[in-house]
Amino acid sequence: MGYKHYIVTCGGTACQSNRGVELFDALKAAVKAHGLEDEVQVVASGCLGFCAQGPIVKVLPQDTFYVNVKPEDAEEIIAEHIVKGRTVNRLLYDKEQSKINVKVKDIDFYQKQFRIVLRNCGIINPESIDEYIARDGYKGLERALFEMTPEQIVEEVLKSGLRGRGGAGFPTGMKWKFAAMQPAGQKYMVCNADEGDPGAYMDRSTLEGDPHSILEAMTIAGKAIGASKGFIYIRAEYPLAIERLQTAIKQSHEYGLLGEDILGSGFSFDIELRFGAGAFVCGEETALLASIEGRRGMPSPRPPFPAVKGLWQRPTVINNVETLANIPVILTKGADWFRQIGTADSPGTKVFALTGKVNNSGLIEVPMGTTLREIVFDIGGGILGGKKFKAVQTGGPSGGMIPAEFLDTPIDFGSLAKIGSIMGSGGMIVMSEDDCIVNIAKFYLDFTCDESCGKCAPCRIGGRKLQQYLDKICSGRGTDEDIEKLREISDAMTKASLCGLGQTCSNPIKSSLRYFMEEYQEHIHEHKCRAGKCQKLLTYSIDPDKCKGCTLCARLCPVKAISGEVKKPHMIDASKCIKCGQCFSGCKFNAITRS
């Protein structure tokens, strides 16, 4: 059936949690109420990326982009835009769009993006295999099955220069080659969808918006290395992604694209889901394999590497979601096409979850080599509230804090390593002048300490010692010797820890000491936190000229440290004050100051 209009709504987790399901139902109901079922199709797609403006509704073929849409707006969109042909200007992101026919790709957030991994997210119905096929889906698999030998598939991926997008950046084709070289027999292909970085949701959104791309990629990989079985290891906290993967697997079986003798090619491959319980350490390859086998998720020494001896001691390739999402495109368009994007050392694109103190937070995909400045200020729209940029953290809790002097650094594996950070899986958190670097380093360390499996002493003991020194500094009890201890322990953990978690968890500390030493010195020598985040370093007082005597601060204080009569200035007893900040955040007259 041909429709005159297609209305695409964001069907990702974030928008669903913001009344997205109600919006979808309201649009469907409005279409039905106007008798337009034969003319208008409403589709819940994957994440459209511009999360700061969600829920988003896109109307095709006009390519109209409505933002912050509520279920109550559905009737107006149908009655005005669809029935009367008049744009609902108040819902447009770009208010000039209706006058000069601005396309979505021309909106500032999208202008410097280039989508390979997210090519179908926000465009197709992720629960329709037909829509995936209509956009060249399974074309790469067809070529792999009928036009290429396993060796040619591996060579094409090697030629593309694709590097693993899970963090380390190891050449994907090389990993496949190691597994393919092992003697024939049972081999496994594993997709790592155990995304655990704080603020990261790249893999979740890809699975929610384009699950068939991962199934196709895993099947191609299975043919390349000689595997007949695949597992997707996904955290149970991703119910929508799991549901859409289950639907995609069922559809692929029905179409003969999974299972025995795929498309009559003689090649058989099947995929199962395995659920993780949310342990961050299970993102590490050997811990992930242990969890799939039903054992406790703890890393094992390497070598042997999984490509030689992995799942149940058989050769196993593990790639993360983003890495795999590139594979069908490489086989469809060719390695030479892929290498034209990005840089010589880091071809292709990278997906980032851009969050923190930035105006345009969301999911973005940019060519490798794009600078931090372009991401933060051109795509991200600059810092919230017009505040001053302080740093950006790449690589999640294992990455480094990058100061303003490196904003023109291109994003690729080598460039980030030179300035003390890593690509990681793609978390990118922007910090402003209102953030305390020492406090943030402590936040990341607290996270990795909680997530450590405790198997090796350098990580188990070293992480806790780092916590103790950071606690001292944040509470005003730090010394210069503590700085040296932070450096010594961090270096020891990097050299001696068993897995990547322990080896990299001190990166935020190292980079912050390298670029923001003055903030550490202020905490130690001046007992001052310039951002006002370290509560124990703050002193609260009441300005008698501004205080109205409303008594709210006294009522909010949990330790009764504030006294005074009604309609008369109050006072804070510093000896009782626990510096919780309740009075400061609650005062309606800005009478309470902190220093």
Residue 98 reports pLDDT greater than 60: no
298-333 per-residue burial string, b: 16 or more CB within 10 A, e: under 16 = bbeeeeebbbbebbeebbbbbbbbbbbbbbbbbbbb
Partners of 59 in the beta sheet? 7, 64
DSSP percent split of the chain into helix, strand, coil, nearest 5: 45, 15, 40
Partners of 163 in the beta sheet? 171
Q: What does the alpha-carbon distance between residue 581 and residue 585 come to, in Å, rounded to a whole number?
A: 6
On the CB side of 329, CA atoms within 13 Å amount to 21
Both structure tokens of 558: 């949990």
What is the 8-class DSSP label of residue 550? -
Residue 311 reports pLDDT greater than 90: yes
- 179-191: per-residue pLDDT in tens? 999 999 999 999 9
Single-letter residue type at 47 = C
The pLDDT value recorded for residue 338 is 98
Helices (H), 226-334: 239-254, 285-292, 321-333
Residue 104 reports pLDDT greater than 60: yes
Question: What pTM was estimated for this model as a whole?
Answer: 0.92
| Most confident listed range (46-50, 280-284, 480-484) | 480-484
- Domain architecture of the chain: domains with CATH: 5-103 (3.40.30.10), 129-339 (3.40.50.11540), 349-432 (3.10.20.600), 437-526 (1.20.1440.230), 538-594 (3.30.70.20)
- 397-411: per-residue pLDDT in tens? 888 999 999 999 999
Task: Find where tokens 């124990």 sit.
Answer: 536
Please name the helix (run of DSSP H) or strand (run of DSSP E) that holds residue 437, with its range, or none: helix 437-451
Does 290 or 105 have the greater pLDDT score?
A: 290
How many CB atoms within 10 Å of residue 408? 10
Residue 554 reports pLDDT greater than 70: yes
CA angle 190, 193, 198 (to 5 degrees): 150
* Mean pLDDT across 76-103: 81
The pLDDT value recorded for residue 99 is 55
Q: At what angle do helices 321-333 and 139-146 cross, to 10 degrees?
A: 70
Both structure tokens of 577: 């004050």
- Judged by average pLDDT, the poorest of 37-41, 104-108, 241-245, 248-252 is 104-108
Q: Please provide the size of the chain in residues.
A: 595
- 488-529: per-residue pLDDT in tens? 999 999 999 999 889 999 999 999 999 999 999 999 999 999
Q: Let me know: does 196 contact 235? Beta carbons within 8 Å.
A: yes
Residue 344 reports pLDDT greater than 70: yes
Task: Find where tokens 């990993």 sit.
Answer: 175
Q: Is the peptide bond before 211 cis (omega within 30 degrees of 0)?
A: no
Q: What does the alpha-carbon distance between residue 422 and residue 215 come to, in Å, rounded to a whole number?
A: 28
Q: Is the peptide bond before 126 cis (omega within 30 degrees of 0)?
A: no
Band (198; pLDDT cuts 50, 70, 90): confident
Q: Let me know: does 382 contact 345? Beta carbons within 8 Å.
A: no
What is the 8-class DSSP label of residue 358? B
CA angle 475, 478, 479 (to 5 degrees): 170
Band (95; pLDDT cuts 50, 70, 90): low
Within 8 A by CB and 6+ apart from 472, the residues are 478, 479, 482
376 by DSSP, 3-state: which?
helix
Both structure tokens of 317: 């390739």
Please name the helix (run of DSSP H) or strand (run of DSSP E) that holds residue 545, with its range, or none: none
Both structure tokens of 91: 């819902």
How many CB atoms within 10 Å of residue 554? 18
Residue 101 reports pLDDT greater than 70: no
Band (93; pLDDT cuts 50, 70, 90): confident
Within 8 A by CB and 6+ apart from 250, the residues are none
For the CA atoms of 503, 505, 509, 511, the dihedral, rounded to the nearest 10 degrees, stands at 70
Q: What does the alpha-carbon distance between residue 517 and residue 123 come to, in Å, rounded to a whole number?
A: 46
76 by DSSP, 3-state: which?
helix
Q: What does the alpha-carbon distance between residue 215 and residue 306 come to, in Å, rounded to a whole number?
A: 21
Residue 100 reports pLDDT greater than 60: no
The pLDDT value recorded for residue 197 is 82
Mean pLDDT of the residues in the chain: 93
- 417-432: per-residue pLDDT in tens? 899 888 887 889 999 9
Within 8 A by CB and 6+ apart from 130, the residues are none
Q: What does the alpha-carbon distance between residue 235 and residue 233 come to, in Å, rounded to a whole number?
A: 7
